[in-house]
Chains A and B, each alone.
Chain A
């Protein structure tokens, strides 16, 4: 029994549908008029094929619409949140001058929103990634393969919303106040954000550490200050109280209400992707707050999500205000920053070491290749007799070496 038997059976059954038509001789077919041919031909397979095409189109329209509606709902919540937070510029402006709350890419599966122009915050970027609902077959395939090969397919079948709040180190006292004429050095304020402190949902601990370089440098610790569903992941345990200091009890309540969709809330300056060169280490350092959520659809959850974003902006605000107006009151002390700086220099040393080793290996490889090339060239220059002589010499050399090796073994 051949493996292809079922396929052959299906093909035979399909051919059987029009056995009557194909059995006609060329002359008989020629004798039929177009309408007779249309009537005589069995169109079942073609109708099924058209039906499948129509179904694919319907799925495409419905899937795209679902994704778009979800994004519209989500970004409506964000817009309201950003307006309350007094951002000067929300969304994107099109060429025609229209304001667009978000940009959709990849057939309504990737969405990006943006807001800027505010005290303490350089910008907020919202990235939402939704499933390709317009292609249910691919989802089914990815999910079923993901069951058996999770490492390969899990990343593609995950929906998420990620909010990145970048600090700017400039504090303005109120929404109506002018920008400070001589702001205290924003770079020095930003340098106070060079630490990793985060609150991570217990159901996402391993995944969060695996996907984010900055979290893979932290210690995991449980605390009574947090709802049971979360842990702290911070560079050192002192930093755990950062959230309690600036977020207060309201944050704890909000966290327990958001346990079913919040993956993590992290303050970091290190990159998400592991840096492999010294340059990428330096280039990708940016003090920011990252919030990662599962995609939510209900209004209540969207309200909670945006409230969390508001709280995170509030923490950036409060910390910046402390650094600018009263550095002695700030939670992050120089001692904590020194420890963080130590860790960074150790990590940088590791990156440099790996980079140098890779460079050495590459150089070695190149050198060996050059030597081989040189030997080949010099051999090609010799006459046939000389080549034979040299080969004989090499053979003897190899044999001698082997004999010596055997001797030492014995």
Chain B
């Protein structure tokens, strides 16, 4: 099942649960806090374990692909990425770890400063779920082969199947060859 749909379902369920729980009760509040913190800690540990495996494996196979254009940055054409499997995996994992930190900061603001407790409860499952569903974790911790959906570069799954999905990276020989000698490097800011 699409992870985004299950995320949505979990969110709705947790929303109902949070309505039925007395979050004003200090002991319940403590349990909710413990649940959220342990969920984040478990997710962080899972990512770090996968990270350690990647570093240990040190797969230096070259990976070339044309990343889709970032329209937000004013790019009209895709950019060639030449990296190694190790660096690609580390980059993917680091961005997941970074999203944990961002989530923590947001939650810290909402809970400690704005005094909201509902989001804490709603977010107490998704960090672990996201960690266990992460492609890198599947490959390096669960030992799944890097083929099919797990083939690098990964494609972001869309909520509505193929429709509305983010453009995928190009890996065909022609696109790579064109991008490789396009001479787009060395553009210096004035």
Q: Are B186 and A220 in contact, CB atoms less than 8 angstroms apart? A: no
Q: Report if A203-B87 is in contact (Cβ < 8 Å); known contacts: A214-B186, A273-B188.
A: yes
CA–CA, A202 to B64, complex, Å?
A: 12
CA–CA, A259 to B179, complex, Å?
A: 27
The verdict on A147 contacting chain B, using a C-beta distance below 8 Å, is yes
CA–CA, A218 to B83, complex, Å?
A: 15
Which of B62, B87, B181, B187 is close to A218, meaning CB atoms less than 8 Å apart?
A: B181
Nearest-neighbor residue (CB-CB) of A155 within chain B = B189
CA–CA, A220 to B180, complex, Å?
A: 8
Q: Are B185 and A216 in contact, CB atoms less than 8 angstroms apart? A: yes
Q: Report if A274-B62 is in contact (Cβ < 8 Å); known contacts: A209-B80, A219-B181.
A: no
The verdict on B82 contacting chain A, using a C-beta distance below 8 Å, is yes
Q: Report if A148-B186 is in contact (Cβ < 8 Å); known contacts: A203-B84, A209-B82.
A: no
Q: What's the tally of chain A residues with a CB closer than 8 Å to chain B?
A: 31
Q: How far is the CB of B187 from chain A (nearest CB, A)?
A: 5
Nearest-neighbor residue (CB-CB) of B94 within chain A = A147
The verdict on A217 contacting chain B, using a C-beta distance below 8 Å, is yes
The verdict on A213 contacting chain B, using a C-beta distance below 8 Å, is yes
Tell me the residues in window 179-209 of chain A with beta carbons closer than 8 Å to chain B beta carbons.
Answer: 202-203, 205-206, 209
| Chain B residues whose CB sits within 8 angstroms of the CB of A222 once the complex forms | 62
Q: Report if A209-B185 is in contact (Cβ < 8 Å); known contacts: A147-B98, A148-B98.
A: yes
Which of B81, B84, B113 is close to A202, meaning CB atoms less than 8 Å apart?
A: B84
Nearest-neighbor residue (CB-CB) of A216 within chain B = B185
The verdict on B156 contacting chain A, using a C-beta distance below 8 Å, is no
Tell me the residues in window 96-115 of chain B with beta carbons closer than 8 Å to chain A beta carbons.
Answer: 98, 102, 113-114
Q: Are B87 and A212 in contact, CB atoms less than 8 angstroms apart? A: no
CA–CA, A217 to B80, complex, Å?
A: 12
| Chain A residues whose CB sits within 8 angstroms of the CB of B188 once the complex forms | 273-274
| Chain B residues whose CB sits within 8 angstroms of the CB of A212 once the complex forms | 185-186
The verdict on B60 contacting chain A, using a C-beta distance below 8 Å, is yes
Interface string of B66-87 (1 = CB under 8 A from A): 0000000100000011111001
The verdict on B184 contacting chain A, using a C-beta distance below 8 Å, is yes
Q: Are A210 and B60 in contact, CB atoms less than 8 angstroms apart? A: no
Q: Are B183 and A213 in contact, CB atoms less than 8 angstroms apart? A: yes
In this complex, the member of A209, A228, A347, A350 whose beta carbon has the largest number of chain B beta carbons within 10 angstroms is: A209
The verdict on B1 contacting chain A, using a C-beta distance below 8 Å, is no
Which of A151, A271, A343, A350 is close to B186, meaning CB atoms less than 8 Å apart?
A: A271
CA–CA, A213 to B84, complex, Å?
A: 21
Q: Are A215 and B185 in contact, CB atoms less than 8 angstroms apart? A: yes
Q: Are A206 and B186 in contact, CB atoms less than 8 angstroms apart? A: no
Which of B82, B87, B187 is close to A274, meaning CB atoms less than 8 Å apart?
A: B187
Q: Are A219 and B180 in contact, CB atoms less than 8 angstroms apart? A: yes
Q: Are B182 and A216 in contact, CB atoms less than 8 angstroms apart? A: yes
Q: Are B186 and A273 in contact, CB atoms less than 8 angstroms apart? A: yes
Nearest-neighbor residue (CB-CB) of A220 within chain B = B82
Tell me the residues in window 211-246 of chain A with beta carbons closer than 8 Å to chain B beta carbons.
Answer: 211-220, 222, 228-229, 231
Q: How far is the CB of A281 from chain B (nearest CB, A)?
A: 11
Tell me the residues in window 265-294 of chain A with beta carbons closer than 8 Å to chain B beta carbons.
Answer: 271-274
Q: Are B185 and A151 in contact, CB atoms less than 8 angstroms apart? A: no
CA–CA, A214 to B185, complex, Å?
A: 8
| Chain B residues whose CB sits within 8 angstroms of the CB of A215 once the complex forms | 185
CA–CA, A215 to B185, complex, Å?
A: 7
CA–CA, A274 to B186, complex, Å?
A: 5
| Chain B residues whose CB sits within 8 angstroms of the CB of A228 once the complex forms | 60
Q: Are A272 and B186 in contact, CB atoms less than 8 angstroms apart? A: yes
Which of B82, B181, B186 is close to A205, meaning CB atoms less than 8 Å apart?
A: B82
CA–CA, A205 to B65, complex, Å?
A: 13
| Chain B residues whose CB sits within 8 angstroms of the CB of A213 once the complex forms | 183, 185-186
| Chain A residues whose CB sits within 8 angstroms of the CB of B98 once the complex forms | 147-148
Interface string of B148-190 (1 = CB under 8 A from A): 0000000000000000000000000000010011111111100
Q: How far is the CB of B53 from chain A (nearest CB, A)?
A: 18
Q: Report if A202-B60 is in contact (Cβ < 8 Å); known contacts: A148-B98, A209-B82, A273-B188.
A: yes
| Chain A residues whose CB sits within 8 angstroms of the CB of B187 once the complex forms | 273-274
Which of A151, A231, A350 is close to B73, meaning CB atoms less than 8 Å apart?
A: A151
Interface string of A332-348 (1 = CB under 8 A from B): 00000000000100010
| Chain B residues whose CB sits within 8 angstroms of the CB of A231 once the complex forms | 62, 82
Give 26 pairs: A residue, B residue, CB < 8 Å, sorted on A: A148-B98, A202-B60, A202-B83, A202-B84, A202-B87, A203-B84, A205-B82, A209-B80, A211-B185, A212-B185, A213-B183, A213-B186, A214-B185, A216-B183, A218-B181, A219-B180, A220-B82, A220-B180, A222-B62, A231-B62, A231-B82, A271-B186, A273-B187, A274-B183, A274-B185, A350-B183
New contact pairs (13) apart from A214-B185, A216-B184, A274-B184, CB-CB < 8 Å: A151-B73, A202-B62, A205-B84, A209-B80, A210-B185, A212-B185, A213-B183, A213-B186, A214-B186, A231-B82, A274-B183, A274-B186, A274-B188
Q: List 8 A-B pairs, minimum CB-CB distance, nearest first.
A: A216-B185, A213-B186, A205-B82, A274-B186, A273-B188, A217-B183, A202-B84, A273-B186
**Partner-B contacts on A (CB < 8 A):** 1, 147-148, 151, 202-203, 205-206, 209-220, 222, 228-229, 231, 271-274, 343, 347, 350
